[in-house]
Homo-oligomer: A and B are copies of this chain.
């Protein structure tokens, strides 16, 4: 038996624990088979050179755990249950070659995240927090953050915001899921979604039990004329900067949507994902400000700070708040420390200073990609307003965007064909979605150069 058990008196692990580990392992992997009788405690203790109590304790532990049992003859033996069959090798997560130039949209410049300053805010948050707030916390989110966000959303986004209408979530994704679940529970069945739009968000909507009904997008945003005919109970849209096509929702369409929502009792879900970045003028205010009683407004720090923080929020109509909070109760409250750090950033002005720095950086990068597209890629049409962290470039029609994206990936250049975001496919479409936030100006040029080479080849 001591083949299975190597006791090390200097390991810092108690002898009986070592004995148990050795026996457990041997039983599990079949070296000790079921019904095998073990030596008496006295015999094994002698064999291993340990006090008998060590073996007594070890056997008792493994009996308690079910690995060993006492036979009808009063002997300790290996129990029946502990031997599963062989298992297949572990599955590993998918990968692919690392990208040298990653133009996939959706991420801010992660190297621009001010780590030291954030760490300081976290430290202050931990230091000052009353013990009681280390519990499960306020399901709605920390009051200080909800207050700070209410002020911020009122000022920066023209929203009608109160702390009591705000719910802190794990990024916008959780907020969208909770809102859709609450709407579904109130009887909603269909939700208008922009086409194109972000596929994972459409998946979240569908997972909550709502049927996404695609509505085409043009240079003025979602084409809302006739929306009443699709009999939707809600609409999910990106009014400040349509993702991915880049339009700001036109005023007449804002009015039409609000009118439709009021007349039909539908809700508008406003995904305000990157309104902080507008380079030619002030951002257009939130749709929520027009109709706080019909709009579920969602935002996050994923584009302004970092997605890894998982900080998002909903600003909700009063009549939906309790229903959404009920859904949040199943997910549990969000971690409190990053909430307190973000509140400090908002209240101290650090958040706005950070945004100003990043806005300048992104504007330079936007100019760089526009110049590179102009000089190296035949000056394709660039759609949408001067805003955000990505551009849509419409290449000459002979180019198939999906094929180009595949070829580019093999050369270490990550791009999304516009078709990746579409519900109704337009095969062979040439347009690309290019995120530029995470690449320096030289990298942008080199990446576009590589694309140009591929197109010429």
Q: List chain A positions with a Cβ less than 8 A from chain B.
A: 13, 16-17, 20-21, 24, 28, 61, 63-67, 69, 79-82, 84-85, 87-88, 90-93, 107, 110-111, 113, 115-116, 118-120, 122-123, 126-127, 129, 131-138, 140, 155, 158, 160, 162, 164-165, 170-171, 173-174, 177, 200, 203-204, 207, 248, 251-252, 254-255, 258-259, 262, 281-282, 284-287, 289-294, 306-310, 318, 321-322, 329-338
With most chain B CB atoms within 10 A of its CB, the pick from A63, A66, A129, A137 is A66
Check B258 against A290 for contact (C-beta < 8 Å): no
Residues of B with C-beta under 8 A to A116 = 126-127
Question: Known: A81-B258, A135-B107, A310-B333. Contact between A289 and B28, CB under 8 A?
Answer: yes
Q: Is the interface of A mostly helix, strand, loop or mixed?
A: helix
Question: Known: A165-B90, A284-B65, A308-B133. Contact between A82 and B171, CB under 8 A?
Answer: no
Residues of B with C-beta under 8 A to A255 = 66, 69, 79-81
| 9 A–B contacts from the bound complex (CB under 8 Å) | A20-B285, A21-B155, A65-B158, A66-B254, A84-B294, A85-B293, A110-B132, A119-B126, A308-B335
Residues of B with C-beta under 8 A to A93 = 138, 140
Check A335 against B321 for contact (C-beta < 8 Å): no
Check B174 against A66 for contact (C-beta < 8 Å): no
Check B28 against A84 for contact (C-beta < 8 Å): no
Of all A-B residue pairs in the complex, the 4 with the closest CB atoms, nearest first, are A66-B254, A134-B306, A110-B131, A111-B131
Question: Known: A123-B122, A164-B91, A251-B69. Contact between A81 and B308, CB under 8 A?
Answer: no
Given A84-B294, A87-B292, A173-B332: 6 more A-B contacts, CB < 8 Å: A20-B158, A21-B155, A67-B289, A80-B259, A81-B258, A82-B290
Check A331 against B330 for contact (C-beta < 8 Å): no
Check A65 against B290 for contact (C-beta < 8 Å): yes
Check A127 against B133 for contact (C-beta < 8 Å): no
Nearest B-chain residue to A139, judged by Cβ = B93
With most chain B CB atoms within 10 A of its CB, the pick from A132, A160, A330 is A330
Whole-angstrom CA separation of A136 from B287 in the bound complex: 27
Residues of B with C-beta under 8 A to A92 = 164
Residues of B with C-beta under 8 A to A131 = 110-111, 113
Nearest B-chain residue to A111, judged by Cβ = B131
Which one, B24, B85, B115, B174, contacts A331 given CB within 8 A?
Answer: B174
Check B82 against A135 for contact (C-beta < 8 Å): no
Check B248 against A91 for contact (C-beta < 8 Å): no
Whole-angstrom CA separation of A177 from B174 in the bound complex: 14
A99 → chain B closest CB, angstroms: 10
Residues of B with C-beta under 8 A to A110 = 131-132, 134-135
Which one, B24, B81, B84, B90, contacts A254 given CB within 8 A?
Answer: B81
Whole-angstrom CA separation of A155 from B21 in the bound complex: 8
A369 → chain B closest CB, angstroms: 20
A414 → chain B closest CB, angstroms: 13
Question: Known: A66-B258, A335-B338. Contact between A134 and B119, CB under 8 A?
Answer: no
Which one, B133, B291, B307, contacts A81 given CB within 8 A?
Answer: B291
Residues of B with C-beta under 8 A to A155 = 13, 21
